[in-house]
């Protein structure tokens, strides 16, 4: 039988995710599948929790990878923490803030949104006025807005939310493992991430953490969590305690991959990992500048792992992406929503964030654009 997998070749993944996967993570994924209640597997799960706590900078007991991609982590936070009628404020400056508002609205929450320009960060002064005007049960924001390349001032936002008593929910899908994420020090109550960005593991798991306050809210709900698969109060019985109870069959090999990917990040050291992202980003911005290309986001708010580059005048952006992929084996991303056709999104996430990859992309881009 024809096997399409045989002709798959490795692509240099420089888009908005997934990112390149290190060989040892592929090796981990290919280890023998064992039972999801096998004591050896339970020990791996316990280590994954510990590694996640280290990478997320949290001591939260409720820290585990949800089965599913980043959006499953997003849903997990909302379905467990929001009840119908709860007042939720979502700060929006890109696609993923919009997705959060959509998820919260579907749960019957009283959702307010505070919108900022795409390509600009959340403005704390505007947030303050909104927080002064209404009491919220939850405030939610995206740390690294992958659709625009903007880093939101999360520490400042968290400090504003704290005195209001609202739960603070953070999307760390693209930020975790690429820039500092300090869940406990910032006072984050719930946070979710994804494996396929700066953790450099294929898509399929979403690390989630809940503070004690968030766990309290979840345990004292008036209504049942309206989603069986993502009900953390049930899932936790599989992830904690001396007797583990079956909830759903854990994606065993994906968890091996995450275990290995987290180990790589921690072995390299978080600071070294952040430096590598920053240095690759600086090299990229400088090289793009020498090709006459400009960035969308002001320097102060740029993400190192997601670079939004303005499409030069007269360039057919889709054909450049297609040639990069077909002729050079490099993937970069297109703009989304109002930025479609206006930007490319160049990812320097996890294992991809290396100077040699920047050089390879710049050479290819120069040749495709006839520079």
CA distance 339 to 40: 47
Cβ proximity to ligand PLP: between 102 and 117 the closer is: 102
- Interface with ligand PLP by CB under 6 A: which range of 4-12, 38-46, 67-75, 111-119? 67-75
Report DSSP letters for 66-122, one per residue: EES-HHHHHHHHHHHH--TT-EEEEEESSHHHHHHHHHHHHTT-EEEEEE--TTS--
For residue 244, the surrounding DSSP H or E stretch is none
- Min separation Cβ 317 and ligand PLP, Å: 19
- Interface with ligand PLP by CB under 6 A: which range of 41-49, 167-175, 253-261, 335-343? 167-175
Tell me if 194 contacts ligand PLP by CB under 6 A: yes
Tell me if 70 contacts ligand PLP by CB under 6 A: yes
Tell me if 146 contacts ligand PLP by CB under 6 A: yes
- Min separation Cβ 74 and ligand PLP, Å: 6
Q: Which of 13, 14, 17, 139 binds ligand PLP (CB under 6 A)?
A: 17
Q: Give the x/- contact pattern for ligand PLP in 85-114, rule: CB under 6 A.
A: -----------x------------------
- Min separation Cβ 94 and ligand PLP, Å: 8
Strand order in the sheet with 62-67: 62-67, 205-210, 190-192, 167-171, 138-142, 87-92, 110-115
Separation in Å, CA 351 to CA 250, 280, 292, 343: 26, 11, 27, 23
Numbers of helices and strands, H then E, in the chain? 13, 14
Q: Which of 173, 176, 250, 348 binds ligand PLP (CB under 6 A)?
A: 173
Closest CA to 238 of 32, 36, 33, 79: 36
Binding site for ligand PLP (CB under 6 A): 16-17, 69-71, 74, 96, 142, 146, 171, 173-174, 194, 203
């Amino acid at each position: 039988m024809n096997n399409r997998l045989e002709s798959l070749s490795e692509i240099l993944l420089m888009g908005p995710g997934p990112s390149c996967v290190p060989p040892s993570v592929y090796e981990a994924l290919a280890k023998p599948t064992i039972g999801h209640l096998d004591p050896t597997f339970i020990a791996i799960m316990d280590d994954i929790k510990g590694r996640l706590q280290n990478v997320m900078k949290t001591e939260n007991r409720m820290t585990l990878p949800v089965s599913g991609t980043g959006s499953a982590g997003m849903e997990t936070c909302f379905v467990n923490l929001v009840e119908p009628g709860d007042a939720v404020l979502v700060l929006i400056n890109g696609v993923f803030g919009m997705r959060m508002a959509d998820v919260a609205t579907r749960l019957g929450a009283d959702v307010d949104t505070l919108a900022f320009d795409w390509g600009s960060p959340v403005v704390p002064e505007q947030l303050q006025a909104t927080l002064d005007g209404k009491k919220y049960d939850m405030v939610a924001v995206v740390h690294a807005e992958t659709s625009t390349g903007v880093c939101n001032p999360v520490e400042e936002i968290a400090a504003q939310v704290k005195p209001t008593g609202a739960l603070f929910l953070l999307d760390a899908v693209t930020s975790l493992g690429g820039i500092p994420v300090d869940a406990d020090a910032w006072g984050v109550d719930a946070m979710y991430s994804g494996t396929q960005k700066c953790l450099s593991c294929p898509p399929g798991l979403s690390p989630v953490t809940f503070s004690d306050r968030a766990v309290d809210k979840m345990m004292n709900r008036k209504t049942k969590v309206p989603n069986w698969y993502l009900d953390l109060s049930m899932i936790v019985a599989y992830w904690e305690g001396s007797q583990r109870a079956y909830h759903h069959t854990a994606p065993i090999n994906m968890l091996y991959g995450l275990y290995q990917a987290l180990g790589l990040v921690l072995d390299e050291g978080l600071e070294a990992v952040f430096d590598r992202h920053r240095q690759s980003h600086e090299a990229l911005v400088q090289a793009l500048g020498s090709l006459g290309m400009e960035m969308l986001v002001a320097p102060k708010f740029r993400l190192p792992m997601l670079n939004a580059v303005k499409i030069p005048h007269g360039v057919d952006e889709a054909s450049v992406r297609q040639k990069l992929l077909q002729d050079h084996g490099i993937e970069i991303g297109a703009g989304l929503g109002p930025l479609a056709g206006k930007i490319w999104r160049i990812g320097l996430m996890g294992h991809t964030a290396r100077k040699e990859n920047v050089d390879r992309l710049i050479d290819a881009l120069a040749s495709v654009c006839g520079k």
